[in-house]
Amino acid sequence: MEKTKHFKELVVWQKSHRFVLDIYKLTKQFPKEELFGLTSQLRRSAVSVPGNIAEGYRKRTIPDKAKFLNTAQGSLDESLYYLILAGDLEYADTKALQTDLEEIARMLNAYYTTINNQR
């Protein structure tokens, strides 16, 4: 069973939420012509991470929880690509955010493993 009472208590959720806030700050610097392109895509993929952690938290079955955590993992990889692209396009220095994302990925993988081992 979950030891926390609310998804907001999960450190992986807290760090991924902070990541989203940082992504919103970063993308404010992007060119205006990217508003409906890279800016939107990066924000959506980043928001999907804590969103799916939160949604999966209250699911009653292990497979349901795992499904949402797996979706969050996919969104992390998508976000990583968009950060690489933004860096390559020289819109911003994204190295620190890529490092943050890698830490979140490790934490999410550990959480996913813990949930799956409850089967």
Tokens of 53: 């952690």
The whole-number pLDDT of residue 1 equals: 41
The whole-number pLDDT of residue 118 equals: 84
Mean pLDDT on 40-69: 97
pLDDT digits (tens, 9 = 90+) for 27-53: 999 999 999 999 999 999 999 999 999
pLDDT at 2 over 50: no
The whole-number pLDDT of residue 57 equals: 94
Q: Domain 16-116 classified CATH 1.10.150.20?
A: no
Quick one: what percent of the chain has pLDDT higher than 70? 97
In the chain, where the domains are located: 16-116
